[in-house]
Amino acid sequence: MQSINSFISKTVPEIDLARKLAMNFSTKDLVEKFQNFVRITPEGPRVLSDQAKLSDKEMIALQLVAQRIASETRPGASPWLSLSNLQERTSLIPKTLSSRLSELSKSGYVTKEVADEKSQFKVSTVGIDWLSGVLGKK
């Protein structure tokens, strides 16, 4: 396999360039990056980190990462969380939560979808990369 990969990389250098630019996180990558911060419990994904050490934006993004991990490891689970579920899980004041979600969305860290007149949110690939970098410094 290594010989084949080496041959293809030498023959088609664009593939090697594309690999360097591509950003994607497998379930294994997510678990490795966030194993000290989240757990998947029978009640659902939970953030285990000390909330006092995380900013509101970090807490929201981490909760969305936990939900994404749950969606990839549990059949039928969705990567999306409603505003009310996020408020319940983060214990943030609704106005603060909405403001932080707006900031995260403008930065491209969170994706918003409206279904049945209700907003749902999920963490983006760029958001995972950002949060991983931030938490790596803590």
CATH assignment of the domain containing 80:
1.10.10.10
Structure tokens at 109: 């860290």
pLDDT at 113: 95
- pLDDT tens, residue by residue, 7-19: 766 666 666 655 5
- Is pLDDT at 114 greater than 80 in this prediction? yes
Q: What is the mean pLDDT of the chain?
A: 87
For 1-138, list the strands marked E by DSSP.
38-41, 44-47, 81-82, 110-115, 118-123
* Domain carrying residue 96: 2-136
Half-sphere exposure of 34 (CA within 13 A, CB side): 33
pTM (2 decimals)? 0.81
Exposure letters 114-138 (e unless 16+ CB within 10 A, then b): eeeeebbbbbbeebbebbbeebeee
Residue 46 has a pLDDT of 86
Cα gap 115→132, rounded to integer Å: 29
pLDDT of residue 128: 96
The whole-number pLDDT of residue 20 equals: 65
How far, CA to CA in Å, does 104 sit from each of 3, 19, 121? Answer: 43, 27, 10
The predicted pLDDT at position 71 comes to: 94
Q: What is the pLDDT of residues 46-95, one digit of tens each?
A: 888 665 589 999 999 999 999 999 999 988 889 999 999 999 999 999 99
Q: Tokens 């749902």 correspond to what residue?
A: 120
Mean predicted confidence (pLDDT) in 88-117: 94
What are the φ and ψ backbone dihedral angles of 31, each rounded to 5 degrees? -65, -45
Counted domains in the chain: 1
The per-residue pLDDT for 9 is 64
Q: Dihedral sign, CA of 71, 74, 76, 77?
A: negative
- The percent of residues above 70 in pLDDT, for the chain, comes to 83
The answer, yes or no, to whether residue 24 has pLDDT greater than 80, is no
